[in-house]
Structure 1
Amino acid sequence: MTQIAEPQAGVNKFEKLKAEKDGLALKAELAHFAEIGWEAMNETDREHRLKWLGIFFRPVTPGKFMMRLRLPNGIITSNQMRVLGEIVQRYGDDGNADITTRQNIQLRGIRIEDVPDIFRRLKEAGMTSIQSGMDNVRNITGSPVAGLDSDELYDTRELCRQVQDTITNGGEGNPAFTNLPRKFNIAIAGCRDNSVHAEINDIAFIPAFKDGTFGFNVLVGGFFSAKRCDAAIPLNAWVEPSDVVDLCTAILIVYRDRGLRANRQKSRLMWLIDELGVDGFRAEVETQLDRTLQTAAAKDEILWDKRDHIGVYAQKQPGLNYVGLHIPVGRLYAADMFDLARMADVYGSGEIRLTVEQNAIVPNVPDSRLETFLQEPLLQRFSVNPDPLTRALVSCTGAQFCNFALIETKNRALAMIKELEAELSFPKPVRIHWTGCPNSCGQPQVADIGLLGTKVRKNGKTLEGVDLYMGGTVGKDAHLGSCVQKGIPCEDLKPVLRQLLIEHFNAQPNAVLTVNS
């Protein structure tokens, strides 16, 4: 049986609150919280420990909580989507949902008095939000077209589910993994295009053949934070699919027991790897596994440029297609969720896939239903062929709902992109990522153009602004971009982007029509 870690009191306030009470203990108190209301709750329970249950207090919307689910491999059924739509629908204008950059969904507007009923409904529908925040492993990402792509090397769906079930005890909560030094990300790639952004995960499994046998090369340590951003590095290990769960467990235990805790800014896995050295870290993992890991395969199978899966694509199953829909900055309202669920039922197999680009895929659409599917009114907004800048736009939640964000992101990003598309033509999509703060949930470091929110001074006033990142690449030669300009006021950003798009991405100004008088 996996040992439960003892929290370390007195190291910092987060270690202290974990030592006082495990966040999972709040499961037994939800009915009480619903009865007394959010304002009467213990402040530490409300603002921190609830995150162990996937419930997030947001000071910018007091009394209206966010709930983060767990959807391994980004797969959700039509019935599950309908249940989530019904949950946010009850909150009117306050209720909506966001698709995240980890193939997940976050619900907004949640009231604490409704949480016991919501948890009941989630369990009945086969969903959970357990251990989705704070010092826990986040949603397990995998190929969004697993089981559909004729060129895939491995179907990641079951492995993602097995890893999640191990970490969360089948969604009931697992105290063995609720006391990590910081958050933790795991990705499993099954295709040749690095659809999971392997380089930004604490553990990433990359397809690779060794002596003719399929398995995974292992990367470790990738992360973003306010103080440091690093791409994952090779562990010099190769494992077969049957060893993935055990290796994840071993790495998590080493990180839990040996990870640095004194300074939260230096507590992610890469800091432990720095301290031990990658060979020393690997040795610790092998000790925990009680066996020697095979060395990495000479090369991996990430050979393609990254695909965004927007559009219509034939599946490996004859006569079936998957259709990728662009969801602008991942924002969904109840009516959208009901429409997606209905379309998945009517045209597909009752399943929806989510991508790390905050988009959705409806799989298993027969050739005979495809034309009618493409005439659905929802596709006027959730396009299968969006304009080039819109197509590749990613944004975090921003200041509208997140108290960490220094700027508004989603609405500003959409408005600015539309203006630029009206003025310029593009030979291909340009990936622009917005994030509201240095926590980098919008992943600006992997973008062609990344915009990281900050505060700037202009004419004696404090304004919303961005730091500009460039050079991030994804796919076969993925690496992180770097900051090239700091402190651009948002009100001055559009001409800066316009010039960058012309000079670096071959954008062309649209012809201006003149009318003779």
Structure 2
Amino acid sequence: MTSTATPTASLNKFEKFKAEKDGLAVKAELEHFAQVGWEAMDETDRDHRLKWVGIFFRPVTPGKFMMRMRMPSGILTSDQMRMLAEIVQRYGEDGCGDITTRQNIQLRGVRIEDVPEIFRRLERVEMTSVQSGMDNVRNITGSPVAGIDADELFDTRSLVQQVQDMITNHGEGNKAFSNLPRKFNIAIAGCRDNSVHAEINDLAFVPAYKDGVFGFNVLVGGLFSAKRCDAAIPLNAWVHPDDVVEVCRAVLEVFRDRGPRSNRHKARLMWLIDELGLGQFRALVEEYLEKPLQPSAEKDEIDWEKRDHIGVYPQKQPGLNYVGLHVPVGRLYAQDMFDLARMAEVYGNGEMRFTVEQNVIIPNIPDSRLDACLAEPLLERFSINPDPLARSLVSCTGSQFCNFALIETKNRALATIEELGAELSLTKPVRIHWTGCPNSCGQPQVADIGLMGTKVRKNGKTLEGVDLYMGGTVGKEAHLGTCVQKSIPCEDLKPVLRNLLIEQFGATPRL
């Protein structure tokens, strides 16, 4: 299809620098950047274009960059995890990594001088960070137990990988999809419990049968941003698994060619759907696909409550089990990574998986090795049976490493939950999500209790605070929560949460 050009005069500043040089062009300049250092780099290259290869400049840690990996369906091998551990240990001055809510990992403290060698190391274990930031398709999410879940409807691992390979040209970088109007999220679900949070993605495929044939109903337009939050809506389309990759291609091409580019705050897919109308948008997808879409199936197969996969579960393969470990707010240090890699090799087949709740799954553990695995010292920290409050705690990076965050999140979230857990007893988990700013990386809108960072005034002083969200639901009847109280100083937050947990979630004070 022919691209629809946008007049240069109407472009925002991001579109203008993208028009000057494609973000992927910096891939060939990494050796030069390593030689001259971060202070001598062109600011646009340093602050923006490097994100096309997964390297993020963070003004709060000058000279130290964040690196975001691509990990389709959150799957990695012990060799890959060990390499990440070596990178964090050797090159990461802050010495840690964070599991994200899109099943991938971000490495902290990387210096630009070390990036070429890091890239060479990652290539040896077939890992890439290409097109993981800015106006690209972010990590593609899938069920963390795809292929091992005894009750799954379809193993989506191959589809997720095929979509990534199409978008990134097998990790080499693909200029056909490196200049979208804005970032884009894709999820493909093959299980019954909406483990991918389909409704918060720009494009999502959820399992559905049509005339007895398995396929996917298609959802479009889900987004979280500082200006707007919307759940995805049905496209009225059912897609056979064989057509998923091409439908992804067509939707992305429509977004690339027709998406709005003048106002960056209104550049996500839902704004284009609003402009065109859902029917016209669907017709354009068919035009780019070069064949008609079938109407959606009458119902999808998302009929279970959301599972977090923490604990021990039998797999569909007889005699094998997967073990879900709770990783508090997704923070991993180098030694944690080494330990997980070793455990995956000793007890399983060397494979690990990340979840959208920022936890780790070790699959393929035979019955004969299960007891020894559960006796590992690491499980004292990464529990298979955490406290109900800690179990469903999610947090973004926060101001410790992210310049967009208005407050510190991870450490504060852990401290707050530890104090509340010591005072209160609950019979079931309460999902509490922290995010440091309105960009909503911590996804407060899908939580029972969501906390969004802000600045507040108290006694004439500016303090860190939060806006309180409630009512987010995931699973078979997913919907977004809403803001119920604004500008709560963080120093006053604990009693607010304590009262909520008692009054609305059945918590009881410990004696």
Indicate whether the TM-score tops 0.5: yes
Give the letter for the 1:262 counterpart.
S
Match of 1:409 in 2: 409
Tell me: CA distance 1:75–1:267, structure 2 relative to 1, closer, same or farther (3 Å).
same
The answer on whether the counterparts of 1:7 and 1:16 sit within 8 Å (CA) in structure 2 is no
Match of 2:257 in 1: 257
1:476-515 deviations in Å (ceiling 9; x for gaps): 000000000000000000000000000110000111xxxx
1:66-97 deviations in Å (ceiling 9; x for gaps): 00010001000000000000001014651210
Q: CA deviation at 1:9?
A: 3.4
Match of 2:292 in 1: 292
3-state DSSP of counterpart to 1:98: strand
Match of 2:100 in 1: 100
3-state DSSP of counterpart to 1:90: helix
Match of 2:89 in 1: 89
Q: Give the Cα separation in 2 of the matches to 1:94 and 1:168.
A: 29
Q: Give the Cα separation in 1 of the matches to 2:347 and 2:381.
A: 18
Give the letter for the 2:355 counterpart.
T
Match of 1:315 in 2: 315
Match of 2:143 in 1: 143
Match of 1:247 in 2: 247
The answer on whether the counterparts of 1:153 and 1:192 sit within 8 Å (CA) in structure 2 is yes
Q: CA deviation at 1:7?
A: 7.5
Q: Give the Cα separation in 2 of the matches to 1:8 and 1:354.
A: 42
Match of 1:477 in 2: 477
1:306-350 deviations in Å (ceiling 9; x for gaps): 000000000010110000000000000100000000000000000
Match of 2:8 in 1: 9
Alignment of 1:114-153 (within 5 A): 114-153=114-153
Greater Cα shift, 208-217 or 86-95: 86-95
Give the letter for the 2:371 counterpart.
E
Give the letter for the 1:28 counterpart.
A
Q: 4+ residue stretches of structure 1 with deviation over 2 A? A: 2-10
Give the letter for the 2:309 counterpart.
H
Match of 2:432 in 1: 432
Instruction: Tell me the C-alpha RMSD between the 2 structures.
Output: 1.0
3-state DSSP of counterpart to 1:207: strand
Aligned residue pairs, count: 510
Q: Give the Cα separation in 2 of the matches to 1:332 and 1:489.
A: 29
Q: Give the Cα separation in 2 of the matches to 1:497 and 1:150.
A: 37
3-state DSSP of counterpart to 2:8: coil
Q: Give the Cα separation in 1 of the matches to 2:6 and 2:369.
A: 55
Match of 2:53 in 1: 53
3-state DSSP of counterpart to 2:463: strand
3-state DSSP of counterpart to 1:454: strand
The answer on whether the counterparts of 2:3 and 2:257 sit within 8 Å (CA) in structure 1 is no
2:488 corresponds to 1:488:
yes
Q: Give the Cα separation in 1 of the matches to 2:115 and 2:232.
A: 37
Give the letter for the 2:267 counterpart.
S
Q: Give the Cα separation in 1 of the matches to 2:46 and 2:456.
A: 32
TM-score, with normalisation over the residues of structure 2? 0.99
Q: Give the Cα separation in 1 of the matches to 2:56 and 2:340.
A: 26
Q: Give the Cα separation in 1 of the matches to 2:6 and 2:137.
A: 17
In percent, how many aligned pairs have the same letter?
78
Q: Give the Cα separation in 2 of the matches to 1:449 and 1:280.
A: 37
Alignment of 1:349-364 (within 5 A): 349-364=349-364
Give the letter for the 1:71 counterpart.
M
Match of 2:389 in 1: 389
1:342-374 deviations in Å (ceiling 9; x for gaps): 000000000000000000000000000000000
2:458 corresponds to 1:458:
yes
Q: CA deviation at 1:123?
A: 1.0
Match of 1:71 in 2: 71
Q: Give the Cα separation in 2 of the matches to 1:60 and 1:91.
A: 18
Q: Give the Cα separation in 2 of the matches to 1:414 and 1:24.
A: 38
Match of 1:44 in 2: 44
The answer on whether the counterparts of 2:26 and 2:49 sit within 8 Å (CA) in structure 1 is yes
Give the letter for the 2:163 counterpart.
V
Q: Give the Cα separation in 2 of the matches to 1:510 and 1:327.
A: 25
1:223-251 deviations in Å (ceiling 9; x for gaps): 00001100000000000101000000000
Give the letter for the 2:123 counterpart.
K
3-state DSSP of counterpart to 1:94: coil
Q: CA deviation at 1:113?
A: 0.7
Tell me: CA distance 1:92–1:172, structure 2 relative to 1, closer, same or farther (3 Å).
closer
Tell me: CA distance 1:371–1:61, structure 2 relative to 1, closer, same or farther (3 Å).
same
Q: Give the Cα separation in 2 of the matches to 1:386 and 1:7.
A: 52
Q: Give the Cα separation in 2 of the matches to 1:432 and 1:246.
A: 37
Q: CA deviation at 1:6?
A: 6.3
Match of 1:188 in 2: 188
Tell me: CA distance 1:191–1:216, structure 2 relative to 1, closer, same or farther (3 Å).
same
1:168-195 deviations in Å (ceiling 9; x for gaps): 0000000000110000000000100000
Q: Give the Cα separation in 2 of the matches to 1:103 and 1:6.
A: 34
Tell me: CA distance 1:122–1:421, structure 2 relative to 1, closer, same or farther (3 Å).
same
3-state DSSP of counterpart to 1:109: strand
Give the letter for the 2:226 counterpart.
A
Match of 2:504 in 1: 504
Match of 1:172 in 2: 172
Give the letter for the 1:203 counterpart.
L
1:103-162 deviations in Å (ceiling 9; x for gaps): 001111101011111111111101100000000000000000000011000001000000
Q: Give the Cα separation in 2 of the matches to 1:256 and 1:237.
A: 20
Q: Give the Cα separation in 2 of the matches to 1:91 and 1:61.
A: 15
Unaligned runs of 5+ in 1: 512-517
